[in-house]
Structure 1
Amino acid sequence: MEELQLQPDVHTALVESFPKNSSNLSHLLKILCRPPLFSTLRINLQLTDITTAIEALRGVLAEQCKLTGMAEFTLYQHPVIDDCIIIENRGPFSLPQVEKEIVVDLSCGMAVLRGANVFAQGIMACPQNLRAGDTVSVFSDLDGKCLKGFAGKYPGRKFHVGNGVAQVARSDLFNASGGVRGIGILMTQPVYEAPAMNDLPFPWVFSQNLPSMACAHFLGPQPGERVLDMCAAPGGKTSHIAALMKNSGVVVALEKSSERASKMSNLMEKLGLDNVKCFQFDSTKAVSDISGPDDSPPYLPASFDRVLVDAPCSALGQRPCAVNRLSLNQLKSYPVLQHKILLSAVQLVRPGGVLVYSTCTVCVDENEDQVARLLTKCPDLELCDAPHKLGGPGLPGSKLKSELLSKVQRFDPSIQLTQPDVRECYNVDTIGFFIAVFRKRSSPDVYQHVKSEGSPGDKRQGKIT
């Protein structure tokens, strides 16, 4: 994999949108093909303390390493995000390829690069003579053209993600009953060594990227407040917000997809977060002059102390990602949708309240330019400094005024640190991400419909008329 593969017209649009001389886009696209060299875990500090968590995780990961023959991983607490544990990964390694080849789908291959083993259902092709215990080389299908059950060496485009030991025979993988489930290939020599995060046996741990954790901390939710997460599924940030609120107050989580909303609700129940209310609802329609029954959407203006808009986006910051099949029309649709959701969010946050906007993309149109557009449209918003400086500034040459670039945070994994210490790299070697923090000004001339008895997080609040 040389660099992230995009549709030609999407690549052209991305190049044209980036400010000239502001960033090495080609280098960034290469970095996006590689996984971060750090894994991060969020710890619910209401259920355990960080020292106990590190020791418990160290023991579980040591057992993983014993099984695969890898060296143990280094773990430590993030110096600023106190509920975050950093794990140092390793790689890339140049590995010999063995005779027996396994082909997995693209999503499975990307997961292997971040530490996962190969689950049986992800295997597309394997030799006729595959037996449990065989050493195999694992390849990821770049074009999605490998047919399930293919028995020869796949001739299409593929890339090597590592070597492992088969846990099942071919006869168990492809049979009339649908095949086996569970681990199909135990990865003993991956190109990148990282811990497997899919089945950690603790209720207080959640695998999450560092910038995603930063969103909740930048939002700053407090116990007893009313907080809205407008694009909440799959629920990682929602659960973090609820935990920071010590499971008090109210967190409303909206998700347009009924299936994703249902899964999110199940996750909150599993995590024991009973201060979260999940609704299947279109966030662009979340504000109304008439509120829904039983605290359901839509909501009256100024109904929330804090609002998070982790917006639907082009996801051109996800790592590792070898191929993105996004169309140009899809790419152009995201800024339009994001702006609609943000306009609803501005109305829903109370005067003096906080609004956080985030994306997992590197696109200027969806990040700096989106912030500039919102500030022009909503003079009652103030762009603020986040409580912690983790990412870099916004891109110069974007539509955002130069004096405001230092207030937003762009997580750009292509940035090269000068003589970096490894423990300074975890804030840089992340997925591509963007965060902006706003505060809504309190102006009696603009917000006469809000009575002065209290905020939405205050039990003495007055009605919004």
Structure 2
Amino acid sequence: AKSKTRWSVGLPMLPCSRRATMTKEDGQRSQAAVPIILSLDELRVDLAPDIRRHLASQYESLVSRSPFSSAVSEGDDDDSVRESSSRPSSSAAERHLDRILDAMKRPPSATCCRVNIINSSVEEVRVRLDDALGPWRERRNAARRLRLLRAAAADDDSDGGRKRRRPEGSAGDEHDAEKEGEGRTGDEGEADDDVDDMIARPSGALPDVLLVGRSGARASTAGALRGPPPIASPNSSSGESSSPRAVFPNWEKRSERGWPSTHRALIVDRLCGEAVLRGSDVFVRGVLAADAGIAEGEDLAVYAHLDGGGEDEGDGGGGKKSAGSAKAFPRGLLLERYGGRCVFLGTGAARCGRADMFRLPRGLAVDMSSSSSAGAAAAVGPDLPPLNGVLESEMMLQNLPSAMVAHVLGPRSGEAILDMCSAPGGKACHVASLMRNEGLVVACDRSRGKVVLAREKFKTVGATCVVPLALNSTRCVVRDGSPWRSPKEIIESASATKKDGLLDVKAFHPESFDRILLDPPCSALGLRPKLRVDIKTLRDLSKHAEYQRRFASEAVALLKPGGTMTWSTCTIDASENEEMVGHVLREFPSMELAPIPFDLGRAGLPERGLSDAERCMVRRFDPCDDGDTMGFFVAKFVKKARS
């Protein structure tokens, strides 16, 4: 009974039957699995060999052309390329793919905020956003000053008391702490860590987009760390510092397993980890495993689970897989029993105790902007504030290439516009914003649940011209010969379902819409940050392009002659981008490409189904490009008017 009690402590989410049968031997077997702990720099986003060959081959013609090939050669001096060139791959195309994958695991250096001009002007949002950043700046700078104070105190004690110390918290002490930080860089100090220059500024490329980030931001040096750096602890009797100050001073196996002895730690799921890299805090639903004894207010080391399991690589008795996890383990697992692969994200301050992290249905678990540990890495990603939920009715977080799509579509007041794969609804909101709610925007998605959530977003931003519909966009054209009716007539005559109040509309008549925004389901091989790729085979990857063709044929049928259609994806895969554009041009002679009037991205890849003139009319974004964006693709079609 004693051994069972020992191993069940701190596992509030495990089923009672599982806890009751857990023995000391079970725990010892689980402890035998040693976790693999990586720094972000060490993490490699792996691809299946056939997928890797497929993606590398699409860049062969690109890297062989001047001046891009010389740019790749010059890039060989970068650490990321030196690392990739030491791998088995040797061709320039494969090295370029490695650069993309290395950039993919890191977020862009700024957060893109698209202004909802239905409710506010860009300048009004810029001012309010700067005001909203004020408390974050204060917390961030206060934590920085405290870290410097503690580091200075440790330095004083390591000198055997030779420095005269003021009482902690005095103005002079704070001044000395600032002086201690001067001249330090990277992990030694934080001379460049002040965030007073964290501002919202116009993007310069799109008129309704603001970028939030530090001016002249540079990459975090914490990307090389597998955990918080050691914190010196003063030894007043000897005048020397003992290293490190330990929360777990006598737990040798902890350091052998790679966990920090200076901090308690927790592990979040992969999707939560990717959000943290973009500036988010940790919320309770994202926490998977944690040390025992975590108390509110203490600094924690935070890691993201990548793959591998905890207990027996199974479902942990809970029968459910964890979000962002290839293999499941029980949520609520003690850290000492974790045996998966994870990556270090930084440190933050606990905002609740361990029990509440696994008991509460929602709430903040870790504030990533408030770490005060001397020498600790506050963030592995760029120093960005959490903006989710900030000014919700006035702006929306949206990646820069994605925010370009509605501008490329060019909606006009009074038009009927179809967003064929709308969820979660960001682009439909943008179209409504550009139209100033004057017209009709039909926002479709196959998932009723996603459409219901999108409907709430439309209400929040005041997009009253948007009509959300749950329908299958691969079969949404009326072909039964019934009398033609406009989208407005179909919607006005439709009845709401009792289940969720969505209108019961399943199809529209041919040539009904002035403009169509088509952003079909894709392989998402362009999202940043992306810590792991889940697509296992080339066959799985190719299914995306096959599925997308079904959306394209319906879109062409629904578009009016003279109308405009955009095609966009968040992937670098040419079979879903340039080759799909070529497919539309070949299969539907009524469709032709139109130039995109924005100086963003670059031309499409050569020798992927488009002529040089055609590929110059599409826009491709690769994660390693100078624009520092996600991977994305946009094309603009116009349907020829009848002669």
1:100 maps to a residue whose letter is R
Is the partner of 2:583 in helix, strand or coil? helix
Question: Cα deviation per residue 1:144-199 (whole Å; 9 max; x = unaligned)?
Answer: 3553222234342111111011111113223xxx3363111110311121121112
Residue equivalent to 1:339: 549
Question: Cα deviation per residue 1:380-410 (whole Å; 9 max; x = unaligned)?
Answer: 1111111212111101121211221110000
Is the 8 Å Cα contact of residues 372 and 401 (structure 1) preserved in structure 2? no
Write the distance in 1 (CA, Å) between the matches of 2:562 and 2:395: 33
RMSD: 1.9
Is the 8 Å Cα contact of residues 261 and 278 (structure 1) preserved in structure 2? yes
Deviates more, 1:109-118 or 1:86-95: 86-95
161 and 442 in structure 1: CA distance in 2 versus 1, 3 angstrom threshold: same
2:368 maps to a residue whose letter is M
Is the partner of 1:29 in helix, strand or coil? helix
The number of equivalent residue pairs is 430
Is the 8 Å Cα contact of residues 17 and 365 (structure 1) preserved in structure 2? no
TM-superposed deviation, 1:21? 4.9
Write the distance in 2 (CA, Å) between the matches of 1:198 and 1:88: 15
Is the 8 Å Cα contact of residues 117 and 436 (structure 2) preserved in structure 1? no
Write the distance in 2 (CA, Å) between the matches of 1:230 and 1:19: 34
TM-superposed deviation, 1:208? 0.6
1:443 maps to a residue whose letter is R
Is the 8 Å Cα contact of residues 233 and 260 (structure 1) preserved in structure 2? yes
TM-superposed deviation, 1:17? 4.6
Residue equivalent to 2:523: 314
Residue equivalent to 1:3: 44
The alignment status of 1:294 with 2:490, answered yes or no, reads yes
Write the distance in 2 (CA, Å) between the matches of 1:202 and 1:124: 28
Deviates more, 1:373-382 or 1:66-75: 66-75
Write the distance in 2 (CA, Å) between the matches of 1:180 and 1:55: 34
Is the partner of 1:284 in helix, strand or coil? coil
Deviates more, 1:352-361 or 1:50-59: 50-59
Residue equivalent to 1:240: 430
Determine which structure has the larger strand proportion and give its number.
1
TM-superposed deviation, 1:254? 1.1
Identity rate of aligned residues, in percent?
A: 33
Determine which structure has the larger helix proportion and give its number.
2
179 and 44 in structure 1: CA distance in 2 versus 1, 3 angstrom threshold: closer
TM-score, length basis structure 1 = 0.88
TM-superposed deviation, 1:335? 0.7
Residue equivalent to 1:441: 640
232 and 246 in structure 1: CA distance in 2 versus 1, 3 angstrom threshold: same
1:140 to 278, 296, 304: 304
TM-superposed deviation, 1:279? 0.9
Is the partner of 1:307 in helix, strand or coil? strand
Residue equivalent to 1:151: 334
Is the 8 Å Cα contact of residues 38 and 430 (structure 1) preserved in structure 2? no
TM-superposed deviation, 1:54? 0.9
The alignment status of 1:93 with 2:221, answered yes or no, reads yes
1:389 to 582, 596, 599: 599
Is the partner of 2:200 in helix, strand or coil? strand
2:410 to 220, 228, 249: 220
Is the partner of 2:211 in helix, strand or coil? strand
1:87 maps to a residue whose letter is V
TM-superposed deviation, 1:139? 0.4
Write the distance in 2 (CA, Å) between the matches of 1:392 and 1:14: 18
TM-superposed deviation, 1:201? 3.6
1:206 maps to a residue whose letter is M
TM-superposed deviation, 1:413? 2.2
The alignment status of 1:75 with 2:200, answered yes or no, reads yes
Write the distance in 2 (CA, Å) between the matches of 1:81 and 1:119: 32
Write the distance in 2 (CA, Å) between the matches of 1:286 and 1:38: 39
Question: Cα deviation per residue 1:267-319 (whole Å; 9 max; x = unaligned)?
Answer: 21222222111111111112223468733441111111100101110000000
Deviates more, 1:89-98 or 1:394-403: 89-98
Is the 8 Å Cα contact of residues 19 and 398 (structure 1) preserved in structure 2? no
261 and 330 in structure 1: CA distance in 2 versus 1, 3 angstrom threshold: farther
Is the partner of 1:161 in helix, strand or coil? strand
Write the distance in 1 (CA, Å) between the matches of 2:111 and 2:642: 44
Write the distance in 1 (CA, Å) between the matches of 2:564 and 2:631: 23
Question: Cα deviation per residue 1:312-346 (whole Å; 9 max; x = unaligned)?
Answer: 10000000001111233431111111111111111
The alignment status of 1:119 with 2:283, answered yes or no, reads yes
Write the distance in 2 (CA, Å) between the matches of 1:185 and 1:85: 27
1:370 to 580, 589, 608: 580
Is the partner of 1:361 in helix, strand or coil? coil
370 and 32 in structure 1: CA distance in 2 versus 1, 3 angstrom threshold: same
104 and 368 in structure 1: CA distance in 2 versus 1, 3 angstrom threshold: same
Is the 8 Å Cα contact of residues 68 and 187 (structure 1) preserved in structure 2? no
The alignment status of 1:109 with 2:109, answered yes or no, reads no
Residue equivalent to 1:326: 535
Residue equivalent to 2:568: 358
1:161 maps to a residue whose letter is L
TM-superposed deviation, 1:5? 2.5
Is the 8 Å Cα contact of residues 255 and 280 (structure 1) preserved in structure 2? yes
266 and 309 in structure 1: CA distance in 2 versus 1, 3 angstrom threshold: same
Is the 8 Å Cα contact of residues 167 and 186 (structure 1) preserved in structure 2? yes
TM-score, length basis structure 2 = 0.64
Write the distance in 2 (CA, Å) between the matches of 1:55 and 1:269: 24
Is the partner of 2:455 in helix, strand or coil? helix
Is the partner of 1:301 in helix, strand or coil? coil
Is the partner of 1:136 in helix, strand or coil? strand
Write the distance in 1 (CA, Å) between the matches of 2:630 and 2:47: 17
Is the partner of 1:36 in helix, strand or coil? coil
Write the distance in 2 (CA, Å) between the matches of 1:287 and 1:350: 13
Structure 2, unpaired ranges of 5+: 1-39, 64-92, 142-193, 230-261, 308-324, 370-377, 492-504
Write the distance in 2 (CA, Å) between the matches of 1:287 and 1:78: 39
Is the 8 Å Cα contact of residues 266 and 335 (structure 2) preserved in structure 1? no
Is the 8 Å Cα contact of residues 114 and 210 (structure 2) preserved in structure 1? yes
1:190 maps to a residue whose letter is A
Residue equivalent to 1:191: 380
Residue equivalent to 1:454: none
Is the partner of 1:88 in helix, strand or coil? strand
Is the 8 Å Cα contact of residues 413 and 435 (structure 2) preserved in structure 1? yes
Question: Cα deviation per residue 1:189-237 (whole Å; 9 max; x = unaligned)?
Answer: 1112112111204411111111111000000001110101011110000
- Mapping for residues 245-260 of structure 1, pairs under 5 Å: 245-260=435-450
Write the distance in 2 (CA, Å) between the matches of 1:211 and 1:395: 17
Deviates more, 1:86-95 or 1:387-396: 86-95
The alignment status of 1:348 with 2:549, answered yes or no, reads no
Write the distance in 2 (CA, Å) between the matches of 1:286 and 1:180: 38
2:594 maps to a residue whose letter is C
TM-superposed deviation, 1:20? 4.5
1:279 maps to a residue whose letter is L
Residue equivalent to 1:450: none
Residue equivalent to 1:461: none
Write the distance in 1 (CA, Å) between the matches of 2:544 and 2:518: 13
TM-superposed deviation, 1:93? 3.0
The alignment status of 1:168 with 2:378, answered yes or no, reads no
Residue equivalent to 1:84: 209
2:380 maps to a residue whose letter is V
TM-superposed deviation, 1:102? 1.1
Residue equivalent to 1:62: 134
Residue equivalent to 2:470: 280
Question: Cα deviation per residue 1:347-390 (whole Å; 9 max; x = unaligned)?
Answer: 11111110100000000100001101110111111111112121
